[in-house]
Amino acid sequence: GEDVEQSLFLSVREGDSSVINCTYTDSSSTYLYWYKQEPGAGLQLLTYIFSNMDMKQDQRLTVLLNKKDKHLSLRIADTQTGDSAIYFCAGASGGGADGLTFGKGTHLIIQP
């Protein structure tokens, strides 16, 4: 099955770009996702990328996929205090029949 790894913490200054990284093991993952979780809340789907794409941009968010290295990243431009949250990388293999496999999440800490 899928295994997804993320670093646990990232600290950035307000206004800088944040880059959150993720590695995955299952090359058959069809879709790769980024979710955001604020304290005490559920998961918010931020964006996702289909496995045959290299990059996807959506306003301040840029997703890069390196299939060869099985590496996924999420770049948040002009990071704001409201971006403070836990960010989860997730993969769907088996056409989603096995549910999503999540990383442990990266805590994004914004310094003023």
Partner 1 sequence: EAGVTQSPTHLIKTRGQQATLRCSPISGHTSVYWYQQALGLGLQFLLWYDEGEERNRGNFPPRFSGRQFPNYSSELNVNALELEDSALYLCASSFYTNEQYFGPGTRLTVT
Per-residue tokens: 40: 């005490």
| Measured distance CA(60)–CA(71) in Å, rounded | 20
Q: Judged by CB under 8 A, which of 24, 34, 87, 88 binds partner 1? A: 88
Of the residues 74, 105, 106, 110, which one makes contact with partner 1 according to CB under 8 A? 105
Nearer to partner 1, 8 or 77 (CB): 8
List the interface residues with partner 1, window 16-35 (CB under 8 A). 30-31, 33, 35
The whole-angstrom separation of Cα 100 and Cα 33 is: 9
Among 100, 106, 108, 110, binds partner 1 (CB under 8 A): 100
CB under 8 Å to 33, separation ≥6 — which residues?
A: 45, 46, 47, 48, 88, 89, 90, 91, 92, 100
The residues that touch partner 1, with contacts defined as CB under 8 A, are: 30-31, 33, 35, 41-45, 48, 88, 90, 92, 95-105
